[in-house]
Amino acid sequence: MPFSFSQPSPSGALLLLLVSSLLLWENVASGPLSSNETDGYPLSTNGLFHNAMRLTWNIKNLNMELRRTYTVNQVSEKLYENYMLDFIEDMEYLVKALTCCHNYSIKTPENLEEAQQIPFNEFPKLILSRMWAWNETSKILLTTLRSIPGMHDDVISLAKNIETKLAELFVYIQSLLNKIYGTTTGNVEYTVFSGLEDLKSSDEEFSLFDLCKFSYCLRVDIHMVELYLKLLECVVYVSSDVCLSKNIRDAS
Ligand SMILES: *[C@@H]1O[C@H](CO)[C@@H](O)[C@H](O)[C@H]1NC(C)=O
Ligand SMILES: *[C@@H]1O[C@H](CO)[C@@H](O)[C@H](O)[C@H]1NC(C)=O
Ligand SMILES: *[C@@H]1O[C@H](CO)[C@@H](O)[C@H](O)[C@H]1NC(C)=O
């Protein structure tokens, strides 16, 4: 069933919700979007959205748990006692200041204001490039963790779980974007993630920093994917409850 971008009446609630940005995108994406009815995906668009959102939620929780479990199991008492309190507080700032995540050509929007600067027809490239990047990077993390002698099993199983969930999310998102945009092939930018080499370092501050870097970069990108899923959902179901709530702005 093709989605059409009927002009919504600019009711107060809608304007409130769309924060003017979707109306902008709508001009870009006017006209019906194609969809391939023979693509054979068993799930409805609604189901795809639902599953994708559930997975981003899972991945965010697993990511937090990974950082916690790593810190508890791999960081020595000495580092913990000497540095940890200051270190943890500063870590976020440090990672943010020092970190290049993937070398995407378009910087990851971090909030709705930044997200709305991206034209609607650039969404697939933005999202698929992140999904491809994390599908690969999570495998590298897992391989690296497994190669480290004495790595705690819980850390490895969390990394494995994150890898699996990311691959699943990638599949749902590909299906969704194909349904909404028609075809999205060729829309992926292949990027590299530098870092994770120090995870093997014998200096535990370096290895902790790399783990935090992975966790930070994943968090930023998954947050972005989640934001765009919500925006896409609003475009597809213009009057859905999701869009009429303040969810989107609260999430950004
Ligand atoms: C729909 O999908 C089928 C199978 O993947 C493909 O052969 C066909 O070209 C697609 N049609 C359109 C209009 O994209
Ligand atoms: C990122 O770096 C890799 C390797 O240097 C390169 O092949 C790729 O084109 C770069 N991507 C972007 C978007 O700059
Ligand atoms: C994502 O990773 C999985 C394995 O983790 C792999 O089977 C799949 O082909 C990857 N997807 C893409 C599009 O590269």
Give the chain as a 3 state SS string: CCECCCCCCCCHHHHHHHCCHHHHHHHHCCCCECCCCCCCCCCCHHHHHHHHHHHHHHHHHHHHHHHHHHHHHHCCHHHHHHHHHHHHHHHHHHHHHHCCCECCCCCCCCCHHHHCCCCHHHHHHHHHHHHHHHHHHHHHHHHHHHCCCCCCHHHHHHHHHHHHHHHHHHHHHHHHHHHHHCCCCCCCCCCCECCCCHHHCCCHHHHHHHHHHHHHHHHHHHHHHHHHHHHHHHHHCCCCHHHHCCHHHHHC
Q: Is residue 159 a part of any domain in this protein?
A: yes
Give a yes or no: residue 236 inside a domain.
yes
The CB of 132 under 6 Å from ligand 2? The reply is no
User: For a substitution probing ligand 3, which of 170, 173, 187 has the most ligand atoms within 8 Å of its CB?
Assistant: 170
Q: What is the pTM of this model?
A: 0.74
How many domains does the chain fold into?
Answer: 1
Q: What is the pLDDT of residue 79?
A: 73
Asked if the structure places residue 11 within a domain, the reply is: no
- Asked whether residue 35 is domain-assigned, the answer is no
Is 40 a domain residue? no
**What is the span of the domain harbouring residue 186?**
51-244
122: Cβ below 6 Å to ligand 2? no
What is the residue-level pLDDT of the chain in tens, covering all 252 positions? 333 333 333 333 333 333 333 433 443 333 333 444 444 445 688 889 999 999 999 999 999 999 889 988 888 777 767 665 665 566 666 666 666 788 888 888 878 778 878 888 888 999 999 999 999 999 999 999 999 999 999 999 999 999 999 999 999 999 999 988 887 777 888 988 887 888 888 888 788 888 888 998 899 899 999 999 988 888 887 655 556 554 455 554
38 lines ligand 1 (CB under 6 A): yes
Residue 164's CATH number: 1.20.1250.10
